[in-house]
């Protein structure tokens, strides 16, 4: 009886072991195959390097970030950064701008922004956000959502020329950050007013003549400062408002005229002010005789150079000499005060 039980248990155990053997062999085969696949896959992929104390995207890139950005800086001489910068689109973080081009309209702000965007350490919003003048009620979250992603060492910028003449803008910018760097591109206020009028005339062909808008009540002597084309050029008045919130050291005043005649020189000043390496130099520019201002040389791999759009460089209408002289007399004391406030003589007659 005991032997029978022992024999039955032995047979049962033997059958149970036989049933487990195929499962065990199958698991070994699957495990071996999985290890083979993973080892082959890992060898084909670059190994990420992690760095602490950086945003998530930069931690993933780790020590590769400086190398990639160094290559971008090297490529700026060949005008390639705009092609390469897209590799960073999924990395970095959206930050509030550390520098803002706050003015002035028709002073050369678009040209300055496009020249700056050649620099691999500058990321800028393309369209004007108008946050501190028209869209402030949309909130800071909306404003930051407009910003491009930046890596460590890059700066975020935006431009909205109407900030300079908006009463509330200095207080609002200061509330966001008192360390914001402010760039103002200024131009001879008489020439600037005519350029402003020319732009408006292109959109509204039925506009009255320049002189009818510049003088109050058809007077030949009283300048109408309520007309925005005239009011914007009273730079000293607008700067006083900004100096209530920011020291002069937070400003850089760029000459719109020198941005045309010596773009590399003015860009050198701008890059120094922003704490950037002087990457954008005279080798990036050529003078477009048709438009009458400098353009960026043809980027490598592109069929054409990069110039500003058709809306830039429009021919100005003829303005009577007596009107121009009267305007210059009007602006002269304001210009002198502006020179004194900024410590710069812009040479406007």
What 8-state DSSP symbol labels residue 123?
Answer: E
- To the question of whether residue 297 is assigned a binding role by annotation, the answer is no
- To the question of whether residue 52 is assigned a binding role by annotation, the answer is no
3-class SS at 336?
Answer: helix
- Can you tell me the distance from the alpha carbon of 109 to that of 61, in angstroms, rounded to the nearest whole number? 34
Contact criterion met (CB below 8 Å) for 88 and 66: no
Over the Cα atoms of the chain, what is R_g?
32
- To the question of whether residue 110 is assigned a binding role by annotation, the answer is yes
- To the question of whether residue 108 is assigned a binding role by annotation, the answer is yes
- Can you tell me the distance from the alpha carbon of 180 to that of 247, in angstroms, rounded to the nearest whole number? 11
- To the question of whether residue 314 is assigned a binding role by annotation, the answer is yes
- Can you tell me the distance from the alpha carbon of 263 to that of 280, in angstroms, rounded to the nearest whole number? 10
CA 10, 16, 19, 25 dihedral sign is negative
Active site residue 167: no
- To the question of whether residue 80 is assigned a binding role by annotation, the answer is no
Buried b (16+ CB within 10 A) or exposed e, 274-286: bebeebbeeebbe
Please list the alpha-helical segments (H only) found in the chain: 2-44, 56-61, 64-75, 81-84, 109-116, 139-145, 169-176, 189-203, 210-214, 228-231, 235-243, 256-261, 263-273, 321-342
- To the question of whether residue 138 is assigned a binding role by annotation, the answer is no
- To the question of whether residue 313 is assigned a binding role by annotation, the answer is yes
**Across the chain, which distance is largest between two alpha carbons, in Å?**
134
CA 255, 261, 263, 265 dihedral sign is negative
- To the question of whether residue 310 is assigned a binding role by annotation, the answer is no
Q: Which of 106, 138, 298, 310 is catalytic?
A: 106
| Cα-based distances in Å from 31 to 20, 27, 43, 262 | 17, 6, 18, 68
Helix, strand, coil percentages, rounded to 5, for the chain: 55, 10, 35
- To the question of whether residue 109 is assigned a binding role by annotation, the answer is yes
Environment class of 172 (CB within 10 Å of its CB; exposed 0-12, middle 13-18, buried 19+): middle
- Name the residues annotated as catalytic: 106
| Binding-site residue positions for 3'-phosphoadenylyl sulfate | 106-110, 187, 195, 312-316
| Binding-site residue positions | 106-110, 187, 195, 312-316
């Amino acid at each position: 009886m005991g032997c029978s039980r022992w024999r039955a248990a032995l047979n049962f155990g033997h059958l149970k072991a036989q049933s487990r053997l195929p499962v065990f062999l199958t698991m070994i085969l699957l495990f071996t195959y999985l290890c083979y696949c993973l080892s082959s896959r890992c060898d084909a992929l670059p190994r990420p390097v992690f760095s602490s104390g950086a945003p998530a995207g930069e931690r993933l890139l780790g020590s590769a970030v400086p190398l990639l950005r160094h290559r971008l800086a090297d490529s700026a001489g060949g005008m390639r950064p705009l092609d390469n910068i897209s590799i960073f689109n999924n990395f970095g973080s959206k930050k509030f701008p550390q520098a803002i081009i706050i003015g002035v309209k028709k002073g050369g702000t678009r040209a300055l922004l496009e020249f700056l965007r050649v620099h691999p350490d500058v990321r800028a919003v393309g369209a004007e956000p108008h946050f501190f003048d028209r869209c402030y009620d949309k909130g800071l979250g909306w404003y930051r959502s407009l910003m491009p992603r930046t890596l460590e060492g890059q700066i975020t910028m935006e431009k909205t020329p109407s900030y300079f003449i908006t009463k509330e803008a200095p207080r609002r910018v200061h509330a966001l950050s008192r360390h914001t760097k402010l760039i103002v591109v200024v131009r001879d206020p008489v020439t600037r007013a005519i350029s402003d009028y020319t732009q408006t005339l292109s959109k509204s062909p039925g506009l009255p003549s320049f002189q009818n808008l510049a003088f109050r009540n058809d007077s030949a002597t009283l300048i109408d400062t309520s007309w925005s084309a005239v009011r914007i050029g009273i730079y000293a008045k607008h700067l006083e408002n900004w100096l209530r919130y920011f020291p002069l050291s937070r400003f850089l005043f760029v000459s719109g005229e020198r941005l045309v005649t010596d773009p590399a020189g003015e860009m050198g000043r701008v890059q120094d002010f922003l704490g950037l390496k002087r990457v954008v130099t005279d080798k990036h520019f050529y003078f477009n005789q048709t438009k009458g201002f400098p353009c960026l040389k043809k980027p490598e791999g592109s069929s054409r150079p990069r110039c500003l759009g058709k809306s830039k460089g429009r021919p100005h209408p003829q303005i009577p000499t007596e009107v121009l002289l009267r305007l210059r007399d009007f602006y002269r004391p304001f210009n002198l005060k502006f020179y004194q406030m900024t410590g710069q003589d812009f040479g406007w007659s």
